[in-house]
């Protein structure tokens, strides 16, 4: 069967990328030399598949240029029937042929193409917010956020470096995204874990530590220095959003402060009785809808611009009943691909948990350290921008 697949041009094989993705997953049962031979053949097929796309456009007589990443792109008219009416989260970078940077392996290539193809198929049915309210951040801007907590160097870039160095690094990262997609303005942000899950119970037995007002104000001041947004992230532990969101409302009443919730550390449903960190936690669509309702009422009462709500996700069960999540005009919901690992795993996670169960907008998380543990280069903005729908929230940890 493998000889049959790889001896033919992928141009004539329907769903080629999906087929080789299945084959690649099955190679794990083979010996290392055989895995290498199969993945090499898959890589050759992936290259040929790109050539097929190039041939299909050969009669268009459109000029070719190189973008800032050195990739060749086809400059297609903006009035093309394939682009008219599509929102910015789909248009950005659409003229560029998908390509990974040099050094990615065959598994990365197959997963990359598979994620893009799944996104392409989903575009016509993807929920699109029509006429966002005045002051809405999305989809007019792309948010680039630094995540962590200043009390810990191990929880993310926000606390890893002295503040001036961290903010300078944020400036550099924002500039990279501006260069990669000049058509979409970049909005910098700081993403503070304001309620931190704990491995041991506190006095109330809730396995979470609430950051005090002084710390939140300090990070808010850092954000102000860069005209950045501030996201307050909640890891509930054995508590719940009903207990944790109300105490943050005074901060959320500020126009430039938004909310994030992290199901990884929500020890409910099948995780009841377990301490955070032992198993990946779970939230339900109802939990997220509570957050949406609370923010919606806050926006209405205080006459605020719409809030952004980030929901972290990298497994199916992290968000139970995701299709039941209902954004409102006052609350823009981002499902953020929060997993770390090699590129192929991140592409698979984006395809399976963000694209497959669409809510409204998507995000993508990049780990400065964990993503490169096995020698992989950090994903570049150009690579992430090839995914469909285009992630509009980018988080660095």
Query: Do 148 and 104 fall into the same domain?
Result: no
> What residues make up the domain containing 46?
2-61+98-124
> Per-residue pLDDT for 180 more than 50?
yes
Query: Do 49 and 196 fall into the same domain?
Result: no
Q: pLDDT tens digits, residue range 304-325?
A: 999 999 999 999 999 999 999 9
Nearest Cα to 387, choosing from 89, 87, 71, 116?
Answer: 116
Query: Do 227 and 354 fall into the same domain?
Result: yes
Tell me what percent of the residues of the chain surpass a pLDDT of 90. Answer: 73
CA–CA dist 214, 268 (Å, integer): 30
Query: Do 378 and 234 fall into the same domain?
Result: yes
Look-up: residue for tokens 């770390």? 340
Q: How many whole angstroms from its chain centre is CA 65? A: 28
Count of domains in the chain?
2
Domain-embedded: residue 311? yes
Mean pLDDT of 212-218: 98
Tell me what percent of the residues of the chain surpass a pLDDT of 70. Answer: 76
Mean pLDDT of 72-78: 28
pTM comes to 0.80
Domain-embedded: residue 89? no
Query: Do 107 and 203 fall into the same domain?
Result: no
Half-sphere exposure of 59 (CA within 13 A, CB side): 1
Instruction: Give the E-state strand segments of 211-292 in sequence order.
Output: 229-234, 257-261, 283-284
Domain-embedded: residue 81? no
Residue pair 237/279 in contact (Cβ under 8 Å)? The answer is no
What's the first-to-final CA gap in the chain, in angstroms?
Answer: 43
Mean pLDDT, the chain, as a whole number? 83
Look at residue 9 in the predicted model and tell me its pLDDT: 41
Query: Do 198 and 315 fall into the same domain?
Result: yes
> Per-residue pLDDT for 42 more than 80?
no
- Whether residue 36 is preceded by a cis peptide bond, meaning omega within 30 degrees of 0, is no
Query: Do 243 and 314 fall into the same domain?
Result: yes
CA–CA dist 307, 254 (Å, integer): 10
Residue pair 73/95 in contact (Cβ under 8 Å)? The answer is yes
Domain-embedded: residue 254? yes
> Per-residue pLDDT for 127 more than 60?
yes
Look at residue 88 in the predicted model and tell me its pLDDT: 53
Structure-token pair, residue 147: 């995540």
Look at residue 38 in the predicted model and tell me its pLDDT: 55
Query: Do 115 and 157 fall into the same domain?
Result: no
> Per-residue pLDDT for 124 more than 90?
no
Query: Do 203 and 243 fall into the same domain?
Result: yes
Query: Do 260 and 337 fall into the same domain?
Result: yes
Half-sphere exposure of 71 (CA within 13 A, CB side): 22
Query: Do 52 and 185 fall into the same domain?
Result: no
> Per-residue pLDDT for 53 more than 50?
no
């Amino acid at each position: 069967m493998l000889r049959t697949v790889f001896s033919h041009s992928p141009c004539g094989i329907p769903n080629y990328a999906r087929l080789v993705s299945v084959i690649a997953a099955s190679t794990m049962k083979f010996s290392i030399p055989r895995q290498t031979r199969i993945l090499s053949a898959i890589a050759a097929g992936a290259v040929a598949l790109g050539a097929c796309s190039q041939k299909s456009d050969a009669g268009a007589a459109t000029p070719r240029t190189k973008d800032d990443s050195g990739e060749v792109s086809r400059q297609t008219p903006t009035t093309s029937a394939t682009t008219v009416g599509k929102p910015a989260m789909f248009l950005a970078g659409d003229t560029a042929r998908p390509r990974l940077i040099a050094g990615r392996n065959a598994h990365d290539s197959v997963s990359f193409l598979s994620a893009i193809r799944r996104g392409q198929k989903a575009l016509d049915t993807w929920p699109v917010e029509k006429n966002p309210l005045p002051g809405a951040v999305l989809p007019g801007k792309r948010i680039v956020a630094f995540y962590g907590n200043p009390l810990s160097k191990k929880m993310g870039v926000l606390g890893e470096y002295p503040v001036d160095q961290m903010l300078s690094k944020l400036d550099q990262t924002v500039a990279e995204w501006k260069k990669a997609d000049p058509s979409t303005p970049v909005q910098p942000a700081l993403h503070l874990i304001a309620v931190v899950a704990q491995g041991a119970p506190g006095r109330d037995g809730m396995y979470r530590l609430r950051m005090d007002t002084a710390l939140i104000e300090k990070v808010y001041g850092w954000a102000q220095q860069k005209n950045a947004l501030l996201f307050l992230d909640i890891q509930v532990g054995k508590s719940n959003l009903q207990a944790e969101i109300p105490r943050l409302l005074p901060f959320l009443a500020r126009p430039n402060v938004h909310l994030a919730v992290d199901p990884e550390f929500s020890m409910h449903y099948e995780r009841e009785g377990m301490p955070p960190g032992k198993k990946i936690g779970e939230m339900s669509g109802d939990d997220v809808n509570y957050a949406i309702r609370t923010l919606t009422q806050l926006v209405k009462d205080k006459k605020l611009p719409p809030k952004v709500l980030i929901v972290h996700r990298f497994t199916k069960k992290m968000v139970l009943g995701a299709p039941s999540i209902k954004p409102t005009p006052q609350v823009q919901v981002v499902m953020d691909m929060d997993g770390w690992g090699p590129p192929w795993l991140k592409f698979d996670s984006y395809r399976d948990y963000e694209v497959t169960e669409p809510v409204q907008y998507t995000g993508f998380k990049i780990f400065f350290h964990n993503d490169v543990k096995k020698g992989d280069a950090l994903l570049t903005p150009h690579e992430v921008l090839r995914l469909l729908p285009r992630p509009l929230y980018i988080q660095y940890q």
